[in-house]
Amino acid sequence: MASHICISHSFLSHNHQSFPSSSSSSSSSFSLHNFLFSNFASSFKRFTLLSKASLHHPNTHAPHQDAVSRDLDTNSSSSSKSRVWVNPSSSRAKHFRTKSSTSRHSYLTRLAESLNSCTPTAQHVSTILKGLGDNVSESDAVFILDKMVNSVTAPFVLRYFLDKIKPSGDTEVVLFNITLKTFRKSRDFEGAEKLFDEMIQRGVKPDNITFSTLINSARMCSLPNKAVEWFEKLPSFGCEPDAMLYSAMVSAYAQTNNVDMALRLYDRAKAERWSLDASTFSSLIKMHGVLGNYDEGLRIFQEMKALGVKPSVVTYNTLLGGLFKARRSWQAKNIYKEMVTDGVLPDFITYSTLLRIYAAAQYSDGAFGVYEEMKRHGMDMSVDLYNRLLAMCANVGCIEEAVEIFEDMKSSGTCQPNSLSFSSLITVYSCNGMVSEAEGTLNEMVQSGFQPTIYVLTSLVQCYGKAKRTDDVVKIFKQLVDLHIVPDVQFCCCLLNVMTQTPKEELGKIIECIEKANTQLGSVIRYLVEEKEDDGNFRKEISELLNSIDVKAKKPLCNCLIDLCVRLNEPNRARDLLELGLTLEIYKNLQSRSQNQWSLHLKKLSVGAAMTALNVWINDLSKALESGEDLPPLLGVNTGYGKHKYVSDKGLASVCESHLRELNAPFHEAPDKAGWFLVTKDAAKSWLECRSSTESIADLNFQVSGGSTLAVQYG
DNA sequence: CTAGGGTTAG
């Protein structure tokens, strides 16, 4: 066997002298190959430098280019030196072959890079491409076009090649298709459509790849309707959609939330046994999630696994995103577990979505766990994620954790606390009556260039109220006025809340603030404090007030007003307000009755409102019993088990428990259902009968005069 | 490594 590979010495020794063209006389096709590449390799450095220089000095472009062309023109270089023969099957030969082909790719890549950054004119493009010589091979054209990212220049390159190669119809469509890809890369869908027109004008027949590229371009440009439009045009060009196109279209229809079409194509794909990939399934899952049908998405997920398609990280992230949207936090952990079991590596989106879910659900352990996991993986937290953690801390009452997270944020190097971050930390301190810490953070906030917001001032009112520093509460109100901030209902609620903790002789100071903040509310408060008889105006004014405010503020206000009534020892007014709240549907479904159990639902009520509702319920039970109605086997009170320190120091559950004990009510905390207090029919009966004979109405005031914070719920 | 796929959170 005479076949040997010819390697030029100049290549081996990095000698810049070229190898003689006569080497083509070698019987091995490899020899020419390597010869060409070794030449390319030796001229790389110079070429790069020159082409870079020409970018900066467009006027000197031509002469430089001449030098480049000369260097690259393999036929013109012809000074002989020495050669080495290498056995083609030897490892050494492989080494050179690889190196040579790498070199050629590098050369073509550099050409493409020059084209990507050159002035987009036919002239500049042809000057650069002259280096390829006159006989441009189809594969070189394909390679270069494929490396193009500049969709403005790419059509010039395409036209150059079409002109040089004079390709057949088959080759033409390939070159057009590759050029189309550059428009996808630069997200220029209009440009892609224009190139399609040019294609038609030249009489080139588009194929499935053409349409696939166009359709995916449209999708990537967030123009799913365009994708649909082009899909529908497909038959008029004599094309028949295939698996790849259907797959893209399932996603496109899913993107437009066209459930019918997406599912129809999906069913078709299943019927035809076309393989769909994880991303197509992800699109379907997302579609259902966006439309609020998480369970439908989950069904697709199960089907996907049954069909043997392995879920990707995106699939899991999509599911988690759906859970976040649907506020179904309790399912998140299982999805995450399955993901880990499945060996799919969580990424930043996985963790940030989990963190958002847990933080929103105030599942602090979960959220902190994810936070630690992110730190362990060296993932940078965003301002938003830090703020969600801090807001959760404020809601749940995690002081040390909040401080630590805030410090982490400052030293993260990637983001700094913003107004929201400071606000949350101030709220954390304020909820716990930590005056000096709250003041210190406020100072830091101002020094960092942030004005106090209404949220911050609301927190500070709460803080000083808790500390019984009434004058400072008034001072904060003045600041609010000075800053030209319009007090909102939440701020007023906070003032009302402070009233429940303020000694009677100082109430006037707060009432003055409330009157200035909201005349209507001020008038209502006068009724309560001055113990005016309700001449019918009280109910009218309060209804007007409740009807005029934002729907999100209704319940907090109602809660505060009831708390104040309780505090002022006016249980009948508290009851009237609760009833009004029920009439206006501010409170809903407080009581429920099923065959087996009658229940009272106190979740999201303030302490005063909850205890008022409890008393009303107990009275209703007595009435039912008196009227001869039979009780169900079980009676229950649901307080919820949220660690909502924001709502109350003790939590509704413990306040409720002590109130029930005070009433000698035989309710017991359910061992298997957190937040539930239950009593059996017989125990309830004997207690209610005994109670009605003593006719004692509990004084609720003990609940709220002890300095505990009553519920103020912010949105 | 030389013609078609990227999708996911706010």
Q: What CATH number corresponds to the domain at position A690?
A: 3.30.1370.110
pLDDT beyond 60 at A30:
no
Distance CA A568, CA A123 (A): 89
Are residues A474 and A513 in contact, defined by beta-carbon separation less than 8 angstroms? yes
Residue A29's pLDDT is 34
Residue A642's pLDDT is 60
Residue A3's pLDDT is 38
pLDDT beyond 50 at A711:
no
Distance CA A140, CA A161 (A): 10
Q: Domain range for residue A70?
A: 1-119
Residue A280's pLDDT is 93
Residue closest to B3 C1′ by Cα: A174
| Mean pLDDT, residues A349-372 taken together | 96
How does pLDDT run across A632-675, given as a tens digit for each residue?
A: 999 999 988 665 544 444 578 888 888 889 889 999 988 888 88
pLDDT beyond 90 at A90:
no
pLDDT beyond 70 at A76:
no
Q: Read out DSSP for A542-562?
A: HHHHHHHS-HHHHHHHHHHHH
Q: Nearest to residue A367, comparing CAs of A395, A340, A339?
A: A395
Q: Nearest to residue A307, comparing CAs of A274, A341, A335?
A: A274
pLDDT beyond 80 at A697:
no
State which residues between 542 and 571 of chain A bring their CB within 7 Å of strand B. Answer: none
- Gap from A302 CA to B10 C1', in Å? 27
| Mean pLDDT, residues A414-424 taken together | 95
Is strand B within 7 Å of residue A146 (CB)? yes
- Gap from A146 CA to B2 C1', in Å? 8
- Gap from A350 CA to B9 C1', in Å? 8
- Residue A658 falls within a domain, yes or no? yes
- Gap from A533 CA to B10 C1', in Å? 52
Question: Strand pairing of A597-601 and A634-638?
Answer: parallel
How does pLDDT run across A493-505, given as a tens digit for each residue?
A: 999 999 999 998 9
Q: Read out DSSP for A137-197?
A: -HHHHHHHHHH---TTTHHHHHHHHHHHH---HHHHHHHHHHHHHHHHHTT-HHHHHHHHH
**Which of helix, strand or coil describes residue A636?**
strand
- Residue A293 falls within a domain, yes or no? no
- Residue A129 falls within a domain, yes or no? no
Letter for the amino acid at A207? D
Residue A74's pLDDT is 36
Residue A692's pLDDT is 73
At residue A275 the predicted structure's pLDDT band, cuts being 50, 70 and 90, is confident
Residue A650's pLDDT is 57
State which residues between 631 and 670 of chain A bring their CB within 7 Å of strand B. Answer: none
- Residue A652 falls within a domain, yes or no? yes
Residue A703's pLDDT is 44
- Residue A638 falls within a domain, yes or no? yes
- Residue A619 falls within a domain, yes or no? yes
Beta bridge partners of A634: A597, A680
Q: How many domains does chain A have?
A: 2
**Which of helix, strand or coil describes residue A206?**
coil
How does pLDDT run across A33-53, given as a tens digit for each residue?
A: 333 333 333 333 323 322 333
**Which of helix, strand or coil describes residue A510?**
helix
- Residue A508 falls within a domain, yes or no? no
Beta bridge partners of A6: A85
- Give CA A606 to chain center in angstroms: 32
Residue A651's pLDDT is 76
Work out the percent of chain A whose per-residue pLDDT is above 90.
63
Lowest mean pLDDT among A60-69, A125-134, A164-173, A202-211: A60-69
- Residue A362 falls within a domain, yes or no? no
Is strand B within 7 Å of residue A179 (CB)? no
**Which run of H or E residues covers position A698?**
none
- Gap from A139 CA to B2 C1', in Å? 6
Q: Which of A119, A149, A184 is the last residue of a domain?
A: A119
**Which run of H or E residues covers position A130?**
none
Letter for the amino acid at A104? R
Residue A675's pLDDT is 85
Q: Which of A63, A91, A119 is the last residue of a domain?
A: A119
State which residues between 274 and 313 of chain A bring their CB within 7 Å of strand B. Answer: 277-280, 282-283, 286, 289-290, 312-313
Residue A97's pLDDT is 45
- Gap from A418 CA to B10 C1', in Å? 17
- Gap from A144 CA to B2 C1', in Å? 9
Residue A643's pLDDT is 57
Most confident of A70-84, A104-118, A611-625: A611-625
pLDDT beyond 70 at A309:
yes
Q: Per-residue b/e over A260-280, b at no fewer than 16 CB within 10 Å? A: ebbbebbeebeeeeeebebbb
Q: What is the DSSP letter of A17?
A: S
Looking at per-residue confidence, does A471 or A137 come out higher?
A471
Nearest nucleotide over every DNA/RNA strand to the A357 CA, judged by C1': B9
Is strand B within 7 Å of residue A256 (CB)? no
The mean predicted confidence, pLDDT, of chain A is 82
Residue closest to B4 C1′ by Cα: A209
Looking at per-residue confidence, does A105 or A341 come out higher?
A341
Q: CB neighbours of A299 closer than 8 A, spacing ≥ 6?
A: none
- Gap from A244 CA to B5 C1', in Å? 9
Distance CA A73, CA A131 (A): 7
Q: Which of A119, A154, A189 is the last residue of a domain?
A: A119
Most confident of A17-31, A83-97, A239-253: A239-253
How does pLDDT run across A320-344, given as a tens digit for each residue?
A: 999 999 999 999 999 999 999 999 9
